[in-house]
Amino acid sequence: MNASYGRPAPASNGMPTSNGMTEALRAEAAIEPDAPSLAPAEKQTQIIAIYGKGGIGKSFTLANLSYTMAQQGKRVLLIGCDPKSDTTSLLFGGRSCPTIIETSAKKKLAGEKVQIGDVCFKRDGVFAMELGGPEVGRGCGGRGIIHGFELLEKLGFHQWGFDYVLLDFLGDVVCGGFGLPIARDMCQKVIVVGSNDLQSLYVANNVCSAVDYFRKLGGNVGVAGLVINKDDGTGEAQAFAAAAGIPVLAAIPSDEDIRRKSANYEIIGQPGSRWAPLFEALAQEAAEAPPVRPTPLTHEGLLGLFKGDAVGRGVVLQPATAEDMGMETAALKPSLEVIYEAQP
């Protein structure tokens, strides 16, 4: 078959002639391309996960941080990912907002779809929502987190136009649900909230270990730094940050004014207030601090940050015996271990 690919059809068929095609191609080639844009690149949404031991002050820190960012003209979304669903209570003056999981269940029973206005609320420029969790004793908090994010994706989470999305997570990253942002690169960086006590720094070290572990597997999430809450000046949290190779983003003092106002669900970082400069500086650090790969401490290294009388390092572990356990006789049973003879 003598097919001539690319040759124009005869003019009698209504198609352009060879000369017409040539002229059309020349005209198209003469069109100048659009000039390259000189405008700054659109800023990508920064998703920051904040971790810490329960009760350490994550919600207090996040409410004031998100509020300050919004007052600086940023579009901020605060998402509570703690099953207690209390992340947004300080922001809303003590009021609790309906959770995504609870609302989804009710809407499903009614045969309705969840709308943005059912689960997202705002105050002074801050948008906020709570994922929620299962009822007490009736489910896994981590699974609740995963289910909650699936619902967020259905609501268009990845199309929302925010400058910052702040996620409030429990520091129990041994749970796959709470470790989700780190394990699946759902955020760019992590901020850890801790204090000068062993338990909060133990959790902070676990978070650093999780980040380091997933970095080894090819992950990209890093630690932006540590926020020291209720800082009494003893220095253990500062020492931990230095040993782990992460910066201290802010040190919120242990102060009666802060304690009293936060207990009354007051935002202490409002512009012009006594504590506004502290949170304005934290907002800048949170935005600009690069995600670094931390160096987790060993358990002994963590204990070494504290004085011996504070953590009981002088205690000696004494092995228990079968007699100690109340057994009348401690008869040895035959071992089931298979012992192979040495090969010649």
Annotated active-site residue 124? The verdict is no
User: pLDDT digits over 110-167, tens only?
Assistant: 999 889 999 999 999 999 998 876 566 666 666 667 778 888 888 888 888 999 999 9
| Confidence grade of residue 280 (pLDDT, cut at 50, 70, 90) | very high
- C-alpha 16/C-alpha 242 separation (Å) is 74
**Predicted model pTM:** 0.77
- The domain in which residue 177 lies consists of 46-303
Short-list 151, 70, 81, CA closest to 118: 151
DSSP bridge pairs for 222: 189
Annotated active-site residue 58? The verdict is yes
Residue 13: inside a domain = no
Give the per-residue pLDDT at 159: 86
Residue 279: inside a domain = yes
Give the per-residue pLDDT at 215: 93
Residue 11: inside a domain = no
Residue 340: inside a domain = no
Kindly calculate the radius of gyration of the chain based on its CA atoms and give it in whole angstroms: 29
| Confidence grade of residue 183 (pLDDT, cut at 50, 70, 90) | confident
Task: Select the more confidently predicted residue: 2 or 197.
Answer: 197
- pLDDT at position 197 over 80: yes
User: pLDDT digits over 204-226, tens only?
Assistant: 999 999 999 999 999 999 999 99
Residue 239: inside a domain = yes
C-alpha distance from residue 231 to each of 194, 228, 242, 255, 258 (Å): 9, 6, 16, 9, 12
Total domains in the fold of the chain? 1
Could you say which of 58, 74, 189, 230 is catalytic? 58
Could you say which of 86, 172, 197, 255 is catalytic? 172
Could you say which of 84, 86, 118, 122 is catalytic? 84
Residue 317: inside a domain = no
Could you say which of 53, 189, 230, 261 is catalytic? 53
Residue 270: inside a domain = yes
Annotated active-site residue 232? The verdict is no
- pLDDT at position 36 over 50: no
Task: Select the more confidently predicted residue: 137 or 184.
Answer: 184
Percent of the chain past pLDDT 90, that is, above it, reads: 47
- Report CA dihedral (27, 30, 34, 36) to the nearest 10 degrees: 160
Task: Select the more confidently predicted residue: 311 or 35.
Answer: 311
C-alpha distance from residue 105 to each of 83, 84, 190, 198, 319 (Å): 16, 17, 31, 39, 51
Annotated active-site residue 154? The verdict is no
CATH number of the domain within which 195 lies: 3.40.50.300
